[in-house]
Amino acid sequence: MDRAKIESIMRENGYSDFKWISGKDVVVSQWPRFKCTYGGSSYGKKGSCPPWVPSVAECREFFSEYEHIAVIHFQKKLNKPDDRKEYSRKTNTRLLKLEKAAFLMVE
């Protein structure tokens, strides 16, 4: 992996506030899953909510397989709480394109 190339691509796309960490340093906890399961209104309704997401153990294993992970910091003030849905959708679409571009350039 050429981190310098990836960093260049990230910066060219407006993502300059990031940090590299090891996958082994990602903390995966049970409490978010419990919070969604027993207190969330979306439980079982969305693909990003339990029971449709991997178990805690599977998430730990997944992240531990990565030697390098870029964690990007986002700072955005929105006028209304519901504006986060559209902002998240657009941001996730941009990040997916960025990931594909980085993958193709590094390969």
Name the strand (E) or helix (H) holding 72: strand 69-72
The model's confidence at residue 70, banded by pLDDT at 50, 70 and 90, is: very high
Q: Over the stretch 17-52, which tens digit does the pLDDT of each residue have?
A: 999 999 999 999 999 899 988 988 889 998 888 999
* Residue 90 token pair: 């657009």
d(CA 24, CA 71): 13
Segment 94-105, tens digit of pLDDT = 999 888 887 777
18 φ, ψ to 5°? Answer: -145, 165
Neighbour-count burial of 86, counting CB atoms closer than 10 A to its CB (0-12 exposed, 13-18 middle, 19+ buried): exposed
Q: What is the DSSP letter of 18?
A: E
The reported pTM is 0.74
